[in-house]
């Protein structure tokens, strides 16, 4: 199908990741590299389609039409799955056999909102190709270098919204199928794919789509192609993710804002009351002091050993986020990710910036808590409520009544508390063994195994609906600026992503 010539100029991070050509046969290496090159022009066209769901449902329908047609061009059977105004897309490789295990691959085609003034290009939906100059800075080069064929430098970067999160894996799936066909090989698994249209912009409709298409989506395992690889850029398997919940904690004082001269030193200040209450919940090292908050966390010797094996550069992490000292929840970065969090995302008292000399009637802190397996959101919020009451507060559901104000010296409200539970697939699950063996064959080394990542992805509808294990396989560079300005994909990751998916396609999945 493709010419077999050297299409990639160098191997991917030779110091940390062996050249995959050493593991793939020469023909397979040629096929995967050619497939990657061949699909780059389509990838550029795909990135030109705006995909901010809450801004335009018409744009998302255009993306769905494009994705459906593209899968068909690359040899898949494809159709759209009704989902209100913005359909999802289902694809599957032809020739499924009951003798093979079925893997459902998940990715999403919608993207985060864009604010063009923050980008180093005029339009985030007009892809820009850049390379690093001798000064170490990235500068634009002609996009034709990847749309007209020819050798590709793996260090080139393609800048556009959704370049990494999450249109790249969608194109990688198609390129991997091209390589499979070019080799005349039969897949070792039955391949199914679902492309979400609401992952970033909501509302979350995946649950309904799964429930309405249970037989169509039936599989033995789910592989979610989302999120960044480990910063080392080594092959990465992620077995779970944190859940989350959020709530507002409000402390009430007077029945209205009051003159700070007439009532100062007499009327309690809710801002200081809230600050004191919050200080009882966490210490200066970041550890939550609420009794039972960490109950259920797995810090067994076996888990600690697995977490310690992840090769994190904590000095580099601190430098990246601009801190001199990290919090002390857990003995290392990975352990920190395996504890529930308790963070204040905002605090409001009075009218900021108004310069009014008043004592506010209330103060509110918005709290975000990431949960882990063993710390369900419902239990965590119940522990918070119990702790606030233990500090002497009377909890109300809405504005306190006059009778409540006259009876209780400390009054607070907790609003919210719902959330998404965490998920973690057992580290010895068959899907993990299958993926690890496939990557070891291609890259000549075992992948990094991360038990749980910090962010969340919509696994729950798939886990609850299909009742199968879920594995996350990130394929894009860690420094891709996802959700932010100047999102980008390192093109070396595009190549290895195609090789990774090709390896999964051909590997036999057994229990």
Determine the pLDDT at residue 2: 40
Q: At residue 11, does pLDDT exceed 50?
A: no
Question: Where residue 8 falls among pLDDT bands split at 50, 70, 90?
Answer: low
**Nearest partner of 306 among 238, 374, 373, judged by Cα:** 238
Rounded Cα distance between 77 and 318, Å, is: 46
The percentage of the chain sitting over the pLDDT mark of 90, rounded to a whole number, equals 87
**Nearest partner of 121 among 135, 136, 96, 141, judged by Cα:** 141
List residues bridging with 366 in a β-sheet.
248, 346
Q: At residue 23, does pLDDT exceed 70?
A: no
Rounded Cα distance between 128 and 152, Å, is: 15
pLDDT digits (tens, 9 = 90+) for 338-396: 999 999 999 999 888 777 899 999 999 999 999 999 999 999 999 999 999 999 999 99
Determine the pLDDT at residue 16: 41
Determine the pLDDT at residue 419: 84
Give me the mean pLDDT over the 273-300 stretch: 97
Q: Which domains does the chain have, with CATH numbers?
A: 20-241+422-506 (3.40.630.10), 243-297+339-420 (3.30.70.360)
pLDDT digits (tens, 9 = 90+) for 238-257: 999 999 999 999 999 999 99
Rounded Cα distance between 194 and 152, Å, is: 30
Residues found in the chain: 511
Determine the pLDDT at residue 21: 38
Question: The whole model's pTM is what?
Answer: 0.90
Q: At residue 17, does pLDDT exceed 70?
A: no
Q: Which residue has the higher pLDDT, 268 or 84?
A: 268
DSSP state for residue 321 in the 8-state scheme = H
Give me the mean pLDDT over the 484-508 stretch: 97
In sequence order, the 6+-apart residues with CB closer than 8 A to the CB of 31 are: 1, 2, 4, 178, 179, 182, 183, 502
Q: What burial class does residue 321 get, using C-beta atoms within 10 Å of its C-beta: 0-12 exposed, 13-18 middle, 19+ buried?
A: exposed
In sequence order, the 6+-apart residues with CB closer than 8 A to the CB of 312 are: 231, 332, 333, 334
Q: What burial class does residue 103 get, using C-beta atoms within 10 Å of its C-beta: 0-12 exposed, 13-18 middle, 19+ buried?
A: buried
């Amino acid at each position: 199908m493709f010419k077999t010539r050297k299409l990639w100029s160098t191997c991917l991070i030779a110091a940390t990741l062996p050249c995959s050509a050493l593991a793939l046969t020469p023909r397979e290496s040629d096929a995967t590299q050619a497939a990657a090159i061949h699909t780059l022009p389509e990838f550029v066209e795909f990135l030109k389609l705006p995909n901010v769901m809450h801004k335009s449902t018409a744009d998302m329908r255009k993306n769905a039409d494009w994705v459906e047609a593209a899968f068909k061009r690359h040899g898949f059977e494809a159709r759209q799955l009704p989902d209100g105004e913005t359909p999802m897309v289902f694809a599957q490789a032809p020739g499924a056999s009951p003798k093979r295990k079925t893997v459902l691959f998940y990715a999403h085609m919608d993207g985060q909102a864009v604010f063009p003034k923050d980008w180093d290009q005029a339009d985030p939906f007009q892809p820009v190709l850049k390379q690093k100059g001798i000064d170490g800075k990235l500068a634009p080069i002609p996009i034709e270098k990847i749309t007209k064929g020819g050798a590709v430098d793996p260090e080139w970067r393609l800048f556009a919204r959704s370049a990494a999160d999450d249109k790249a894996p969608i194109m990688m799936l198609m390129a991997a199928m091209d390589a499979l066909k070019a080799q005349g090989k039969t897949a070792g698994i039955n391949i199914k794919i679902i492309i979400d249209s609401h992952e970033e912009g909501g509302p979350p409709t995946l649950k309904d789509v799964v429930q309405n298409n249970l037989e169509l989506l039936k599989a033995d395992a789910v592989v979610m192609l989302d999120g960044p690889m480990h910063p080392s850029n080594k092959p990465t398997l992620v077995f779970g993710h944190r859940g989350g919940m959020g709530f507002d904690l409000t402390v009430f004082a007077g029945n209205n804002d009051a003159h700070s001269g007439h009532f100062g030193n007499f009327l309690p200040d809710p801002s200081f009351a809230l600050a004191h209450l919050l200080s009882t919940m966490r210490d200066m090292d970041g550890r939550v002091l609420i009794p039972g908050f960490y109950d259920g966390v797995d810090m067994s010797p076996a888990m600690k050993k697995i977490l310690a094996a992840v090769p994190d550069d904590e000095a580099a992490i601190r430098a990246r986020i601009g801190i001199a000292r990290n919090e002390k929840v857990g003995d290392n970065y990975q352990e920190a990710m395996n504890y529930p969090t308790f963070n204040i995302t905002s605090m409001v008292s009075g009218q900021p910036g108004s310069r009014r000399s008043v004592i506010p009637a209330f103060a509110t802190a918005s709290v975000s808590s990431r949960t882990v397996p063993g710390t369900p959101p419902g239990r965590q919020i119940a522990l918070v409520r119990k702790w606030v009451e233990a500090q002497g507060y009377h909890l109300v559901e809405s504005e306190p009544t006059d009778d409540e104000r006259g009876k209780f010296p400390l009054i607070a409200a907790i609003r919210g508390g719902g959330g998404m539970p965490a998920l973690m697939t057992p580290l010895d699950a068959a899907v993990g063994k299958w993926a690890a063996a496939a990557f070891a064959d291609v890259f000549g080394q075992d992948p990094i195994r991360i038990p749980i990542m910090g962010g969340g992805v919509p696994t729950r509808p798939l886990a609850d609906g299909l009742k199968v294990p879920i594995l996350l396989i990130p394929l894009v560079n860690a420094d891709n600026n996802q959700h932010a300005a100047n999102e980008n994909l390192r093109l070396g990751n595009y190549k290895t992503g195609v090789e990774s998916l090709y390896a999964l396609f051909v590997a036999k999945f057994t229990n």
